[in-house]
Amino acid sequence: MKRTIIRPNGLPESISTQVVTPIMPSVVYASKNPNELDKQYEGKEKGFTYAREGHPNAEIVANLLDRLEGNSSGLVVGSGMAAVTAVALGVCSSGDHILGGDQLYGRSLRLMKEDLPRFDIETSFADPTNVGAIEKALRPNTRLILVEAVSNPTLRIADLEGISKICKRKKILMAVDNTFTTPLAIKPLKLGADFVINSITKLLAGHSDVTLGYVAAKRKKHAEAIYNFVVSSGLTPSPFDCWLAERGLATFSLRFEKSQKTAFSLAKFLSSHKKVIKTLYPKLMDHPDKRRASKILGKNGCNMVSFAIEGGRKAANKFVSNIRGVAFAPTLGDVGTTISHPSSSSHRYLSPEARNALGISEGFFRISVGLEDASELIEEFRQALDKQ
Ligand SMILES: *Cc1c(COP(=O)(O)O)cnc(C)c1O
C-alpha cells in the first residue's frame, strides 16, 4: 500500500505472509501512472481498479466455485436473485421469451411473472420433469430455459438431459439454478447447460450469515455480457460477505456429506412413522422420479426432505410447536436443521387448489437437514410426531 499524506504508514511490514485471506474492503486501487492504468484497462496487465468492477475477496470465492462447477469465468454477485437477474437481463432482450420450470424458487417465479414482462420479455412456465411439456411450451422467440434440478418443495427431478437436447436442437440457451443440489451433486455445465446459478447464501456459505450468489456461463461472450450487466447494474457483492463465504466454503464438502447422510436417515425414519402420510427424498424407493434421481444425482440425495402429516393447519401448528430443537424458518442450507411450511411461506400466494395440485397440503413440511447428530435429530422428530 502506497504511503500517502492521509495514510502515512501504509501497511505494517512483514517478511512473512498471511495464511488466511485478509478482508480487502478497498473500493479504489492506486495505479503507478496513466500508462500502467491503460495496460490494466486494455487487459494487458491484471489489476483491480474499482470494487464494483471486481475485488479480490469476490474473485477468490468465484475461483473456488469455478473449480467446483468446472468453469473458469464465474462471477460472485450480491445474492442468488442477483445471479438469476444477471442471466435473464444479461443475455435476453425485449421481444425474447424465457421459459421457466413451473416450480422455480418463489422469487424467480415472481421476477419472471411480474418484472421481466415490464421490459417486454415474455415469460411462461412448464413442468421440467416432462420434456414433452417443455417442448410444447416453446415459442419461436424462446431464448432461454431456466430450470432447477430438484424442485422446491416437492423434490421432483427435472429431465435435464432431455431439456438440454431440446435446447441444443433449437439453439435455445439453458440455465440451471443449482442451489438445492450444489456442484457436489450436479455440475450443470457438464450436463449441457449454458449457465449455472447458485445462491451462495444457502449450502455453499452454509451459516446463514451471508447473502451472495454465483453465476457462470459456458461461453465467453455470455460471461462478458453478464459481467458488463452486473457491473453496470451494481449487483456487486460486499468484500466482507465474500470473506465469510470463503470461510464457509472451506467446510462445504464436509457439511454437505454429513447433511445428506443424516437427511437419508431422517427420510427413512419419517417414511416408517405412522403419522407421516408421505415422505419425499430422492433416494427413497418410492420417489416419483427415482430412476432419474440416481442418474442425475448419482449417489447423492442432498439435504432436503419433505413430508406430510394429516389434520390441516391445526395439526401443522401443533407439530411446529412441539418440535423445539429445530428452527421453524423458511430457508435452507444452514448448519442447523430448519423446517418450513410452504403453504404459509414460499407458496402462500398460490390458491389452495394450485397448492393441492402440487401436493402441498396444510400438513406438508420441508426440512433442510443440518449438522446435528442424526439420532438426536430423529428423536426430536419422533417425539413431536408421537404427540400428533
Ligand atoms: C434462495 C434461493 C435463491 C435466491 O438466493 P438469495 O441468495 O436468497 O437471493 C435462488 N434459487 C433458489 C433455488 C434458492 O433456494
Residue 179: CB within 6 Å of ligand 1? yes
Residue 148: CB within 6 Å of ligand 1? yes
- Has residue 304 got a pLDDT over 90? yes
**Predicted pLDDT of residue 11:** 87
Residue 180: CB within 6 Å of ligand 1? yes
Q: Give 234 Cα–ligand 1 centroid separation in angstroms.
A: 18
Residue 105: CB within 6 Å of ligand 1? yes
Q: Of all helices (H) and strands (E), which one includes residue 327? A: strand 327-328
Instruction: Tell me the mean pLDDT in the region 271-277.
Output: 97
For cell 447422510, the residue is 261
Residue 80: CB within 6 Å of ligand 1? yes
First-to-final CA distance of the chain:
64
- Mean residue pLDDT of the chain comes to 96
Tell me the C-alpha distance between 286 and 279, whole Å.
Answer: 9
Q: What b/e readout covers 119-157, taking b as 16+ CB neighbours within 10 angstroms?
A: eebbbebbbbbbbeebbebbeeebbbbbbbbbbbbbbbb
**pLDDT tens-digit profile of 240-259?**
999 999 999 999 999 999 99
Instruction: Tell me the mean pLDDT in the region 24-47.
Output: 93
Residue 83: CB within 6 Å of ligand 1? no
**Predicted pLDDT of residue 358:** 86
Contact 148, 112 (CB under 8 A): no
Q: What b/e readout covers 193-211, taking b as 16+ CB neighbours within 10 angstroms?
A: bbbbbbbbbbbbbbbbebb
**pLDDT tens-digit profile of 144-168?**
999 999 998 999 999 999 999 999 9
What amino acid is encoded at 81 in this protein?
Answer: M
pLDDT band with cut points at 50, 70 and 90 for residue 357: confident
- Has residue 350 got a pLDDT over 90? no
Q: Which atom of ligand 1 is nearest to the CA of 200?
A: 7
Side-chain-side CA neighbours of 278 within 13 Å: the count stands at 17
Q: Which atom of ligand 1 is nearest to the CA of 180?
A: 13
Q: Give 199 Cα–ligand 1 centroid separation in angstroms.
A: 5
- Has residue 286 got a pLDDT over 90? yes
Q: Which atom of ligand 1 is nearest to the CA of 104?
A: 13
Instruction: Tell me the mean pLDDT in the region 70-91.
Output: 97
Q: Give 40 Cα–ligand 1 centroid separation in angstroms.
A: 34
Tell me the C-alpha distance between 123 and 116, whole Å.
Answer: 7
Which residue's CA lies nearest to atom 4 of ligand 1?
80
Rounded to the nearest angstrom, the gap between the alpha carbon of residue 357 and the centroid of all alpha carbons in its chain is 25
**Predicted pLDDT of residue 292:** 95
Instruction: Tell me the mean pLDDT in the region 103-120.
Output: 95
**pTM higher than 0.85 for the full model?**
yes
- Has residue 1 got a pLDDT over 90? no
Residue 195: φ, ψ to 5°:
-140, 145
- Has residue 3 got a pLDDT over 90? no
Across 29-38, 294-303, 348-357, least confident range: 348-357
Tell me the C-alpha distance between 204 and 256, whole Å.
Answer: 9
User: What is the side-by-side strand order in the sheet with 304-309?
Assistant: 276-280, 304-309, 364-368, 338-340, 327-328
**Predicted pLDDT of residue 349:** 81
pLDDT band with cut points at 50, 70 and 90 for residue 348: confident
Tell me the C-alpha distance between 217 and 191, whole Å.
Answer: 13
Tell me the C-alpha distance between 116 and 105, whole Å.
Answer: 16
Residue 241: CB within 6 Å of ligand 1? no
Residue in 81, 180, 196 to alter for ligand 1 test, most ligand atoms within 8 A of Cβ: 81
